[in-house]
Amino acid sequence: MSLRHSIGIIHPRAAIVAHDLLMTALAWWGAKELRYALDPALQIGFAGWEFPLVLAVQGLVFAWTGLYKGVWRFASLPDLWNILRAVVLGTVAIYVALFLYNRLDGVPRTVLLLYPFVLAMCLGAPRLAYRLWKDSRLALQPNEGARRVLIVGADSAGEALSRDLQRDNRYTVVGFVDGRRSLSGARINGRPVIGTLEQLPDVAREAAVQMLLIALPSASAAEVRRVVELCDSTGLPYRTVPRLEDVVAGRAQFNEIKEVAIEDLLGRDAVELDWTAIRETLTGRRVLVTGGGGSIGSELCRQVARLGAHSLTVVERSEYNLYRITRELRMQYPEMILNGILADCGDGVAMRRLFAEVQPQVVFHAAAYKHVPMLQGQLRAAFRNNVLATRAMADLCDRSGVECFVLISTDKAVNPTSVMGACKRIAEIWCQNLSAHSATRFITVRFGNVLDSAGSVVPLFREQIRAGGPVTITHPEISRYFMTIPEASQLILQAAALGKGGEIFALDMGEPVKIRDLAEQMIRLAGKKPGSEIPIVYTGLRSGEKLFEELFHPLENYTATTHAKIFLAQHRQVSWELLQAQFAKAADAVSDFNEEDLRHCVSSLLPSFRWSDAAQPDNVVALRRHESGENV
């Protein structure tokens, strides 16, 4: 390192040290002046080593408290607190030093009371003045290329965002709008609160705004949707700061500016979980997750690792998905025992060997085929993977003494009209009834669509919008339940902690969302106009597809649980001997690739399932079955 470079680094700190020592000398002298001004008859005086001793002691305290590590440009309350701490400790140290030096000869006790107040002002005022000067220069400095932005939300998030933007030459904050009328006319960081949310379009036009920044991290999804509609009406681009739960989970920075995502509009209030019960279920346990590289499976792996599992075994048959999740987990949780197993959970030989080696205590079975139209013509593949593999895993858990087995199911298993839904319902029936004959707790968790999961409608729409359209929707009135991947995974963990065995838990999915509204909102978020710039085409319901989904069958008589977002379906028993016999026949049909016999087995297991419904989907059929209360 060159001498010139070293001087460039040392010089600012040396100037600060010199400033603070000069202020110390002035404060000591000023404190004495104030004391002797009260009694002019007395003559002020200084002992020979008094000044050097005061400067040395106070300077050492400054260094010890880290006062010189603070940057004047960003002086704030923590810096002022550090100054007060250094001043008080310095005063005590000076008292001790002068007492040992000359028994405080010539130093009245009143000086030691006045000195910290004077020194605190001498140190704090220049720092704050310097910051105000720098901020005012940035605020007044003309920047022709800066975008004029209006901040939506005048709370703490909006204030912090405006303060950060004052140091960014790319933006000029012209003011705020907020839902509270009482704030109109107030000023935040020198910028006015120009109007209310309802006045946003007019304010944006009159103030010649070029961009809107939404600073409402704690707002509900309904509030965010309302604000986004107002932003849409302005025709201006808009961005937002992350939600609080994303910041807390480490998925985003607090004042990071990002595009409004569909999750911001469809998400619900943050999930409140009984983390104590969840930790008792998972912390220190050996956990196995099948389908651990998928959307839900991978998030389950992250949550389990975060909760301090003793070991985590990830079973995944996609080589890339397994590589991706194990690489991530090894980087974030290097101390955890992690096993990445490339295998099909329906491979009995591989699973028996794996269970003997890792001896799991808790198993989450997330592996399944889930694409409804694709499975309609592939009954054998759907049954083999979604039913027989589930049975094999459940039986193995029973024989191996696993404490808890959680089946990840779907709302499509209720009044199924598709092969996929029928297979998931049959898997539910096996786990429900096996629980009565096993020490293992078999728990089923049922929920709807998950935002941005692999193969779901959100990434499909995003791809179609990026290509310029058209966006394809099967029916104008089709609706679905949605929740985010983290929320679904956390509620699965909560259900695992609640379950005693044999239950079907359904997650509160909120209100169903019309797919048409979802598509239109995603088009608007992309800065396009639905219908004109991005056309929407209706293609008709596909085989096995419903207009709406249900989370419970009428005969299940669901009840509330101790968690507000988890409901319990009453257990419906099936003859265990009959169930075993039907499963044996179905397994033989799969082995013989006899789909006709397999269809008969499915019909025997689900008497209300009509193959005509699966072949020619019509929600009138589903409605009729729903109203009649036919058992499944």
Same domain for 313 and 351, yes or no, is: yes
Higher pLDDT, 591 or 13: 591
Higher pLDDT, 595 or 16: 595
pLDDT band for position 618 (50/70/90)? very low
Closest CA to 407 of 504, 339, 483: 504
- pLDDT 10s digits, 280-289: 889 999 999 9
Q: Per-residue pLDDT averaged across 189-216, rounded?
A: 85
Same domain for 155 and 131, yes or no, is: no
pLDDT of residue 454: 63
What percent of the chain clears pLDDT 70, i.e. is strictly above it? 79
- pLDDT 10s digits, 74-116: 556 667 777 888 888 888 888 888 788 777 777 777 787 888 8
pLDDT band for position 487 (50/70/90)? confident
Same domain for 206 and 246, yes or no, is: yes
pLDDT of residue 572: 65
Say if 515 falls within a structural domain: no
pLDDT band for position 453 (50/70/90)? low
Report DSSP letters for 118-162, one per residue.
HHHHHHHHHHHHHHHHHHHHHHHS--TTPEEEEEE--SHHHHHHH
Please enumerate in sequence order all residues whose Cβ is within 8 A of that of 243, keeping only pairs 6 or more positions apart, or say none.
217, 218, 252, 264, 267
pLDDT of residue 597: 93
Q: What is the Cα 55 distance to its own chain's centre?
A: 51
CATH code for the domain of 356: 3.40.50.720
Higher pLDDT, 535 or 126: 535
C-alpha triplet 505, 511, 516: angle, nearest 5°: 125
Q: What distance in Å separates the CA atoms of residue 471 and residue 463, rounded to the nearest whole number?
A: 9
pLDDT of residue 13: 67
- pLDDT 10s digits, 459-473: 888 888 888 889 998
Closest CA to 453 of 426, 489, 499, 477: 489
Token pair 């209310």: residue? 196
pLDDT of residue 158: 82
pLDDT of residue 164: 77
Q: What distance in Å separates the CA atoms of residue 339 and residue 288, rounded to the nearest whole number?
A: 9
**DSSP, res 67:** G
Say if 466 falls within a structural domain: no
Say if 324 falls within a structural domain: yes
pLDDT of residue 630: 38
Higher pLDDT, 141 or 548: 548
pLDDT of residue 175: 87
Q: Residue 512 corresponds to which amino acid? A: P
Q: Specify which of 237-251, 441-455, 511-525 reaches the highest per-range mean pLDDT.
A: 511-525
Q: What distance in Å separates the CA atoms of residue 107 and residue 8, rounded to the nearest whole number?
A: 40
What is the Cα Rg of the chain in Å? 34
pLDDT at 1 over 50: no
Return mean pLDDT, the chain. 80
pLDDT of residue 144: 59
pLDDT at 622 over 50: no
pLDDT band for position 251 (50/70/90)? low
Q: Is the peptide bond before 476 cis (omega within 30 degrees of 0)?
A: no
pLDDT at 269 over 70: no
Token pair 């979604």: residue? 386
Say if 234 falls within a structural domain: yes
Say if 266 falls within a structural domain: no
pLDDT of residue 583: 94
Same domain for 151 and 134, yes or no, is: no
SS3 state at 309: coil
Same domain for 216 and 106, yes or no, is: no
- Of 90, 122, 139, which one is at a domain's C-terminal end? 139
Same domain for 130 and 155, yes or no, is: no
Q: Per-residue pLDDT averaged across 365-388, rounded?
A: 92
Same domain for 369 and 418, yes or no, is: yes
- Of 139, 161, 184, which one is at a domain's C-terminal end? 139
pLDDT of residue 621: 41
pLDDT of residue 442: 94
Say if 570 falls within a structural domain: yes
SS3 state at 473: strand
Closest CA to 308 of 326, 328, 335: 335
- Of 139, 160, 189, which one is at a domain's C-terminal end? 139
Q: Which domain holds residue 198?
A: 147-260
Same domain for 280 and 249, yes or no, is: no
Domain count for the chain: 3
With beta carbons less than 8 A apart as the criterion, state whether 295 and 450 touch.
yes
Say if 472 falls within a structural domain: no
Same domain for 22 and 167, yes or no, is: no
Same domain for 133 and 151, yes or no, is: no
pLDDT band for position 355 (50/70/90)? very high
Same domain for 179 and 153, yes or no, is: yes
What percent of the chain clears pLDDT 90, i.e. is strictly above it? 24
Say if 540 falls within a structural domain: no
- pLDDT 10s digits, 221-250: 778 888 888 888 888 888 887 665 555 555
pLDDT of residue 593: 93
Same domain for 121 and 173, yes or no, is: no
